[in-house]
Amino acid sequence: MDRLGIDLYGTSRIGKTRAENQDRIMATALGRGKAVLAVADGMGGVAAGGLAAETAMRVLESQLNGASLDPQALARVIMKAGDQIVALAARDNKLYGMGTTLTAVFIEQGTANWAHVGDSRLYVVRDGRLAQISRDHRFLQDLIDAGDMTVAETLDHPLRHYLDQCVGSPDVQPDFGSFSLAKGDVLLLTTDGVHDHVALQQFLSTLESDIGLREIPNLLFKKAMQAGSTDDMSIVLGRVGCEEPD
């Protein structure tokens, strides 16, 4: 049986007004058609935010031991990372309140299994359309879903970036799911320093262009900064290509 091959690339850039990049990324090919893609955006002060994101990535990496990670397993990884972040904060008052987003995808046998907490995002491009797979865990997102507020009305709202939950908050409940991949699909993971400032059509036109995978993030970073982003920015990409022989 053939496996779908996937080209991976990820990169991160410190924000213009930031003292330290609190984002962390992962784009790792595991062989035999397996790969993991992830982004994390830490919060809670410079040292605490970076440590929270780093802890989440270390916990995820520790699970990449050859075993399959279905959506439920990825959700458990997120909860385990949350437990470790809470434990670290309990031992040091300077780390109180730290947390991170985490959006992770495990690819195996042509299927993308994913789990997510926070307001980093997972998108997929297929047949000329860009679909957001993850749902933002923001306070205002509940109002949007209920029809009490439009997306446009949230853009300048003072609570725009407040999260309902993050990795490190009590009783974290990750969203998770899976979908089948097809040749030509592009997976896009971003932190909010990017997607809060780049329109969906700009994402789509850039991802559908003929430029190489490594050039795409720099173009999107430039668009985000031109639109006013001063936050850390991270992008992880996976482009599904030709089939690999078994």
**135-143, long-range: CB within 8 Å, 24+ apart, which pairs?**
135/175, 137/163, 137/164, 137/165, 137/166, 137/175, 138/162, 138/163, 138/164, 139/163, 139/164
Mean pLDDT computed over every residue of the chain: 89
Helix (H) or strand (E) holding 88: helix 71-91
**pLDDT tens profile 170-224:** 889 999 999 999 999 999 999 999 998 999 999 999 999 888 999 999 999 999 9
**pLDDT tens profile 73-119:** 999 999 999 999 999 999 998 898 899 999 999 999 899 999 999 99
Q: Could you tell me which CATH class the domain 3-240 is placed in?
A: alpha beta
**pLDDT tens profile 122-135:** 999 999 999 999 99
Asked whether 6 and 238 are in contact (CB, 8 A), the reply is yes
Q: Model pTM? A: 0.92
